[in-house]
Amino acid sequence: MEQYLKLLDFWNKALKSDEVYKINGKWINDDNFNSTLKKYINENSKVLDFGCGSGWALIEASYTTAFKKGIGIDQSINGIECASKVTELSNIKNIEFIVGDQNCLKNYQNEFDFCMSINLVDVLPDNIIYDVLKDLSLAVKPNGYLMIAINPDFSFEFLQSIGYVKKDCCIYKDSIFRGNLKTNGEWINIFKQYFEFVEYKEFVLSEREKDYPRRMFILKNF
């Protein structure tokens, strides 16, 4: 529990530095990312972004698909404040951001047609991962879809060069838990305990990620 509280404090402080600015339209050009949103979200969809941070993915999705309603949830007060200010400045009306953890998902039983969770599960300890997946399965409608994206599969040599240390299958920096290292197959086996695995894709948001793309798992709720 102490490590988990340190982790929450770390991400809240990290998101405090995110800039607030007006968004004028789409900025992600990656075909895999954009086509996936268009494939699984339509204008009548209610979309959840769980672990939304400063809200970039949900905001981007609103420009890509013009869904009916979007809700972003994150434990970081700083992240939610940033996301809310950006949507206000950008005059985005169909998105709401809420401070909360997986426990607040109990207020949204069978409510969402599509859920995205980006760079969340792979920065959580195993016991928390299972709790999150279980609660997401209750919040997403039967036969609804999820897009779970995780960080690039960096080599440990690279991670070690920038100050990370490895213990078992996890990495730490400055004594704070920072990542859960699993193969794609291991992630899929975990996801399949709660959802049907549909497809795997990769996407990039920067030049550096062309060598180490982000990983994206599409799942279907039972």
Tens of pLDDT, residue by residue over 67-122, are: 999 999 999 999 999 999 999 999 999 999 999 999 999 999 999 999 999 999 99
H runs (alpha helix) in the chain: 2-15, 31-40, 56-65, 77-89, 126-139, 156-161, 184-191
- What is the distance between the alpha carbons of residues 159 and 166, in angstroms, rounded to a whole number? 9
- In the chain, domain spans: 29-152+182-221
Residue recorded with tokens 């709790």: 131
What is the rounded CA–CA span in Å between residue 80 and residue 72? 8
Helices and strands (DSSP H and E) totals, the chain: 7, 10
Look up the CATH number of domain 29-152+182-221: 3.40.50.150
Q: What is the pTM of this model?
A: 0.93
pLDDT band at 199 (very low <50, low <70, confident <90, very high): very high
